[in-house]
């Protein structure tokens, strides 16, 4: 994967991931009656999912066979799951399921989304003496995308 594609995918990954987290928080806040621990609970489950996804990529790419799900499949699956998370939580809460059970889908979705950035890094950074430099550029692109996702989704799109 060339460098500009990796930067673009890294930024888009951050943008989409943080945008979905904001949407999920709105649904969780509404479903919980704006209970104080709802943000901490969602954030903890979201970060747990990201860690699980990152760990999966680390284990899958360190094997000699390197059998893992391709990046395009993970991007598609992650975005479909992320899109369906809001309706899924809404339906479960509306039929009386505990909110914590409904939030299990956040862990699963975040795990799939959490595979994307490490896999982009793995596929685009050559194993040479510039690994740290190349990783830092991809990480900056991811952070910029995440910041723009938070700003655009939280301040603009949520008000439309």
d(CA 112, CA 43): 16
Asked if residue 140 has pLDDT above 60, the reply is yes
- Helices and strands per DSSP (H, E), number in the chain: 7, 0
Q: Above pLDDT 90, what percent of the chain?
A: 28
**Exposed, middle or buried by CB within 10 Å (0-12, 13-18, 19+), for 18?**
buried
State the DSSP string of 38-93.
HHHHHHHHHHHHHHHHHHHHHHHHHSSS-----HHHHHHHHHHHHHHHHHHHHHHH
Is residue 135 within a helix (H) or strand (E), and if so which, with residue range? helix 131-151
What pLDDT, on the 0 to 100 scale, is given for residue 64?
56
> Which tops the pLDDT comparison, 142 or 157?
142
Q: Are 130 and 7 in contact (CB under 8 A)?
A: no
Q: What is the mean pLDDT of the chain?
A: 86
Q: Are 125 and 138 in contact (CB under 8 A)?
A: yes
What pLDDT, on the 0 to 100 scale, is given for residue 35?
81
Q: What is the pLDDT of residues 58-117, one digit of tens each?
A: 887 776 545 556 778 888 888 898 899 889 888 888 888 887 887 888 899 999 888 889
In this prediction, residue 52 has a pLDDT band, given cuts at 50, 70 and 90, of very high
What pLDDT, on the 0 to 100 scale, is given for residue 3?
87
What pLDDT, on the 0 to 100 scale, is given for residue 10?
93
Q: Are 50 and 106 in contact (CB under 8 A)?
A: no
| Count of CA atoms in the C-beta half-sphere (13 A) of 101 | 8
Q: Above pLDDT 70, what percent of the chain?
A: 95
What pLDDT, on the 0 to 100 scale, is given for residue 146?
93
Q: CA 154, 119, 85, 51 torsion: positive or negative?
A: negative
């Amino acid at each position: 994967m060339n460098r500009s594609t990796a930067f673009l995918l890294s930024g888009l990954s951050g943008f989409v991931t943080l945008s979905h987290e904001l949407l999920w928080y709105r649904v969780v806040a509404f479903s919980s009656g704006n209970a104080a621990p709802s943000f901490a609970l969602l954030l903890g489950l979201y970060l747990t999912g990201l860690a699980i996804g990152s760990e999966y990529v680390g284990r899958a790419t360190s094997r000699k066979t390197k059998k893992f799900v391709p990046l395009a499949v993970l991007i598609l699956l992650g975005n479909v799951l992320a899109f369906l998370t809001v309706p899924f939580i809404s339906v479960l809460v509306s039929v009386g399921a505990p909110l914590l059970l409904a939030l299990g889908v956040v862990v699963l979705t975040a795990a799939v989304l959490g595979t994307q950035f490490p896999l982009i890094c793995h596929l685009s950074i050559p194993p040479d003496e510039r690994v740290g430099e190349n990783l830092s550029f991809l990480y900056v692109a991811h952070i910029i995308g995440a910041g723009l996702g938070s700003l655009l989704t939280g301040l603009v799109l949520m008000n439309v």
